Amino acid sequence: MLGEFEYVLITVAAGLGESAYGAAIREEIEKVAGRRCSIGALYTTIERLEKKGLLKTWMGEATAQRGGRAKRMVRVTAKGMHAAKEFYEAMVRVSRNASWASGKPERA
Amino acid sequence: MRSLTEMATIFLAPNDREAVLGDLAETGASGWSALRSVLGLVLRQQMELWCAWQPWIASSVAFAGSLLLLSVSFGLSVDSRHLLRGERGYGSVLCEALLMLSWAWTSGYVVGSLSAKTRWVSGILCAIPCLSCVLRFHDTSLSRLCVLLFLLPAVVGAIQGVCRARLFHGTALTLAIAMTALMLVLGGMYMRNWFFFLPAWWLVAHAERSELSNEKGPA
């Protein structure tokens, strides 16, 4: 099963689609998830997920904005989508009886 | 600071370097923040590498192997001197030299092929006993560099291991059998020989696995 940050990364990369690359994913995670994402955490997780076959990466175009450096483009594989879906469904199942998910009053 | 950040990226793979420096330029990160980001990535990548067993085995072989090969090199140098004085036969010294070459090469190959990304750690672990031994060497009748005879074949083996030079199963098996036979001829299977027995036979298993995966072809 995926780790929490792995799930966040795959979900954000899938959401960005064709424009998913290092800096864009990092910015999106910080904006949407409201958490700091270091370059170290981002790239080591991307490498780990690529080794597991959940992501595919390749070097994209270089832009002037990036000082002429290429982007590391990211695409979620079918296996990655399946793993993310499994994680999401497990979280929904786990949260079923929690007050914040079911709307039931909180028990002490 | 920018050049410091770029210097720190030498520890990264070329593609990572390109992507990370590009990301830093795009987000406008500079100074300590950029340097911290790069060093953080380098540290995390190293930590991930050391979660596997291969770097530990490679480092152990590099350290223990160099300690043992220092004494083998010294022994060979002393026996070569005896040979020149006519106190030893050519055969035994030649066997000893062949054994040292093959021990050094196979150990180097194993270290390089097991964990190419941590080769600098293996290099340091090999260099520490070498330097210590060279600096403390006292025998005035021999050059202090005589203890480093094993270094060249070991480095060649390590480079070939890092480059994953193809090793045929037949070649590896012949080498392992020849080494085992030489070990038996030269004093039997005592502790030191057992240590070098392992890299040789690991190469046989490695070569067999590589041939099997080549036969299957890419998935």
Does residue A98 sit at the B interface (CB-CB below 8 Å)?
no
Nearest Cβ partner for B37 among A27, A38, A44: A38
pTM value is 0.75
Interface size between A and B, measured as CB pairs under 8 A = 72
Most confident of B3-12, B49-58, B79-88: B49-58
Q: Given A27, A40, A70, which is nearest B22 (Cβ)? A: A70
Assess contact for A65 and B26: CB atoms under 8 A: yes
Return the SS3 of B14.
helix
The model's pLDDT over B117-155, given as tens digits with 9 standing for 90+, comes to 888 899 999 999 999 999 888 877 788 888 899 999 999
Residue type, B15: N
- pLDDT given for residue B168 in this prediction: 84
Residues 35..64 of B with a Cβ closer than 8 Å to A: which? 37-38, 40-45, 48
**Residue located via tokens 């987000």:** B27
As for the ipTM of the complex, it is: 0.85
Taking the Cβ of residue B33 and every Cβ of chain A, the question of whether any pair is shorter than 8 Å is answered with no
Q: Is B28 helix (H, G, I), strand (E, B) or coil?
A: coil
B2-46: per-residue pLDDT in tens?
688 888 998 898 999 999 999 999 998 878 889 999 999 999 998
Highest mean pLDDT among A43-52, B117-126, B198-207: A43-52
Model confidence at B164, in pLDDT bands (50, 70, 90)?
Answer: confident
Burial of residue B55 (number of CB atoms within 10 Å: 0-12, 13-18, 19+): buried
Residue A39: list chain B partners with CB under 8 A.
Answer: 20, 23-24, 37-38, 40-41
pLDDT of residue B218: 47
Q: Best residue in A6, A39, A46, A61 to probe B by mutation, most B CBs within 10 Å? A: A39
pLDDT for the residue numbered B187? 66
Which of B15, B27, B44 is the closest to A44 by Cβ?
A: B44
**Tokens at A68, concatenated:** 């002429």
B48, A47 in Cβ contact below 8 A?
yes
B200 near B180, Cβ under 8 Å?
A: yes
**How far A88 CA lies from chain B's nearest CA (Å)?**
26
pLDDT of residue B219: 41
B9, B12, B21, B23: best to mutate for the A interface, most A CBs within 10 A? B23
- B87 three-state secondary structure: coil
Q: Please determine, for residue B192, whether its predicted confidence score (pLDDT) is greater than 80.
A: no
Verify whether the Cβ–Cβ distance B20 to A38 is below 8 Å.
Answer: no
Distance from CA of B207 to the nearest CA of A (A): 23
